[in-house]
Structure formats: structure tokens, C-alpha cells
């Protein structure tokens, strides 16, 4: 059965703007089949040398470290491939993707399973919503125009390489409520926030899970690459 894979990445919990906007999406979508990961509460490990080399080493030859790292990737990749739709919350941290979400992406971007497949990605055409809250504003003509490295990065890997049909919903000037020097921008923040909640509700109303065939099992005879092989 297909499900929505919902992944939160803000370090904050209920007070997180992106999580609140995602709630608007979920309330209007109304679906119940959800697999949830809170990456702030339960971060996935960063990809290690053992994890990278495991991908190109025959599983029968894995060291204990490679086998452990492979098990983590398999769980995350299977969960990703089994989803018929995706909801991500992704605040801008230092102009980019929160490190906990980047760590998850590094675990699931696996050649031959999620990317670099001869017939294209298995996830092609599946719908995704990415809610990105930010302290500043990155629209055309805005002070940080051109400095948003989160949307382009996510679009490249999840959109272009994995084929997800991504709708980005952004909320700007969140720091206006926090930093006294930005307080004149509170009205802009509130307008942006209201528009983001409206967009999230609209996205939820029309969101339909993509049908998903059985998730292909990872090959247990991955072709060893000389550079990474641990075999003698
Ligand atoms: C570690 C950190 C780095 C941040 N870096 C940026 C940044 O580069 N640009 C920006 O616009 N906002 C930045 N912010 C502000 C957040 O993007 C903003 O507060 C956003 O609303 C947080 O989303 P959340 O409420 O869902 O956690 C940063 C916040 C934190 C905690």
C-alpha cells in the first residue's frame, strides 16, 4: 500500500513555522497512510566511508562496518521507494539545507536504487511538497535574491535526479518576529506566513498518492569496484 513519507527537519518542535505549515497541508489532505520521520529527534547518521564503499562492494564481502552502514541505507531507501508522495519541512539554515536533512539525502541517493537507473528513477512523477521557512526573503528583487541554496539543491537531487514533482512552499522573514532590528518587517512576515498556509491547504486538497509497485530489493551481488573493494 502506498503512503505519504513525511520528513521534518526543523530543530524546533511545535513552535517551528515549517512544521505548522506542514500541519495545514496534512489537515486539508486528510490521508491517514503516513510514514513519519522527525530528523531533529532521531537523526540519521552521516554517510561514512563504510557506507559509501558498501554500495559498490559485493555484499558477501562486506566488513561488519559496511554491513551495518548498508542496513541503514537499505531501510531508508526502501522507505523512500515505497512512498507514493512526500512532504518535507526544510527551514533555511545558513543559506542551505538543514544538516539533518542533508544527511538523510546522502543516505538515500544511491546509484542503481534511487538514481542513475537505466530506465530513469523509480520515483519519477511522484508528488512532493517541500515547505521551506526562512528568516529572510529570497524572492526576485528581495535582499537575499539569488542566495537561496536550499530550493535549487533539493530540486536538483529530489526533482531532477529522482524525478519527484515538487511543489515548494516558502515562508519569509521569520526572523522579523525574533530580531528587534527586523521588527519593521513583521507585517511582511505575517503576509508571507498566511500565504504559505493557504498554499499548503491548496496543495493538500489536490494531493494524490502515486501508485507504487513492489519496491525492488537491492541487488545482493553488487559489482565490486576496484577503488572501494575490500577484497584481497
Ligand atoms: C542555524 C540557523 C541558521 C539559519 N540560517 C538562516 C539563513 O541562512 N537564512 C535565513 O533566511 N534564515 C536563516 N535562519 C532562520 C530560519 O530559517 C527561520 O527562523 C525559519 O523560520 C526556521 O524555520 P522553523 O521555524 O521551521 O524552524 C537560520 C536559523 C537557524 C537556527
State whether the beta carbon of 175 lies less than 6 angstroms from ligand 1: yes
Pick the closest to residue 177 from 131, 149, 132, 136 (CA basis).
136
State whether the beta carbon of 17 lies less than 6 angstroms from ligand 1: yes
Q: Whose CA is nearest to atom 4 of ligand 1?
A: 93
Is 131 within 8 Å of 18 (Cβ atoms)?
Answer: yes
Cα–Cα dist 60/63, whole Å = 9
pLDDT at 124: 98
The pLDDT tens digits along the chain (232 residues) read 799 999 999 999 999 999 999 999 999 999 999 999 999 999 999 999 999 999 999 999 999 999 999 999 999 999 999 999 999 999 999 999 999 999 999 999 999 999 999 999 999 999 999 999 999 999 999 889 999 999 999 999 999 999 999 999 999 999 999 999 999 999 999 999 999 999 999 999 999 999 998 888 886 444 444 444 444 3
Cα–Cα dist 66/230, whole Å = 10
Atom of ligand 1 nearest to the CA of 20: 26
Q: Copy the grid coordinates of residue 170.
A: 516558502
Q: Copy the grid coordinates of residue 194.
A: 498566511
Atom of ligand 1 nearest to the CA of 15: 25
Three-state SS string across 84-118, please? EEEEEECCCECCECCHHHHHHHHHHCCECCCECCC
Is 136 within 8 Å of 150 (Cβ atoms)?
Answer: no
Atom of ligand 1 nearest to the CA of 95: 8
Pick the closest to residue 7 from 82, 104, 77, 136 (CA basis).
104
Cα–Cα dist 5/80, whole Å = 7
Distance 64 CA to ligand 1 centre (A): 38
Distance 168 CA to ligand 1 centre (A): 16
Q: Copy the grid coordinates of residue 103.
A: 544527511
State whether the beta carbon of 133 lies less than 6 angstroms from ligand 1: yes
CA angle 5, 7, 101 (to 5 degrees): 130
Domains in the chain with CATH codes: 3-205 (3.40.50.360)
Cα–Cα dist 82/5, whole Å = 9
Is 127 within 8 Å of 133 (Cβ atoms)?
Answer: no
| Contacts for 221 with CB less than 8 Å, ≥ 6 apart | 58, 59
State whether the beta carbon of 136 lies less than 6 angstroms from ligand 1: yes
Is 198 within 8 Å of 192 (Cβ atoms)?
Answer: no
State whether the beta carbon of 93 lies less than 6 angstroms from ligand 1: yes
3-state secondary structure of 228: coil
Q: Whose CA is nearest to atom 22 of ligand 1?
A: 91
Distance 118 CA to ligand 1 centre (A): 38
**Substitution candidate for ligand 1 out of 149, 175, 179, 188 with most atoms within 8 A of CB:** 175
Distance 85 CA to ligand 1 centre (A): 26
Element (H, E) at 194: helix 186-205
Atom of ligand 1 nearest to the CA of 175: 19
Phi, psi of 136 (to 5 degrees): -105, -150
Q: Copy the grid coordinates of residue 124.
A: 519519477
Amino acid at each position: 500500500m502506498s503512503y505519504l513519507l513525511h520528513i521534518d527537519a526543523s530543530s524546533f518542535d511545535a513552535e517551528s513555522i515549517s512544521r505548522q505549515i506542514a500541519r495545514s497541508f496534512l489537515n486539508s489532505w486528510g490521508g491517514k497512510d503516513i510514514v513519519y520521520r522527525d530528523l531533529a529527534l532521531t537523526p540519521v547518521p552521516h554517510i561514512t566511508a563504510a557506507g559509501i564503499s558498501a554500495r559498490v562492494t559485493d555484499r558477501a564481502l562486506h566488513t561488519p562496518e559496511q554491513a551495518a552502514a548498508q542496513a541503514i541505507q537499505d531501510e531508508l531507501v526502501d522507505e523512500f521507494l515505497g512512498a507514493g508522495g512526500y512532504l518535507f519541512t526544510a527551514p533555511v539554515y545558513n543559506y542551505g539545507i538543514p544538516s539533518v536533512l542533508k544527511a538523510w539525502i546522502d543516505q538515500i541517493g544511491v546509484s542503481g536504487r534511487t538514481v542513475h537507473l537505466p530506465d530513469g528513477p523509480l520515483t519519477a512523477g511522484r508528488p512532493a511538497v517541500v515547505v521551506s521557512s526562512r528568516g529572510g526573503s529570497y524572492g526576485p528583487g528581495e535582499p537575499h535574491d539569488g542566495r537561496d541554496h536550499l530550493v535549487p539543491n533539493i530540486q536538483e537531487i529530489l526533482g531532477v535526479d529522482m524525478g519527484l514533482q515538487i511543489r515548494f512552499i516558502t515562508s519569509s522573514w521569520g526572523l522579523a518576529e525574533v530580531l528587534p532590528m527586523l521588527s519593521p518587517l513583521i507585517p511582511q512576515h505575517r503576509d508571507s506566513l498566511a500565504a504559505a498556509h493557504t498554499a499548503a491547504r491548496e496543495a493538500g486538497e489536490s494531493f494524490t498518492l502515486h501508485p507504487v509497485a513492489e519496491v525492488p530489493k537491492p541487488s545482493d551481488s553488487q559489482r565490486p569496484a576496484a577503488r572501494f573493494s575490500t577484497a584481497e
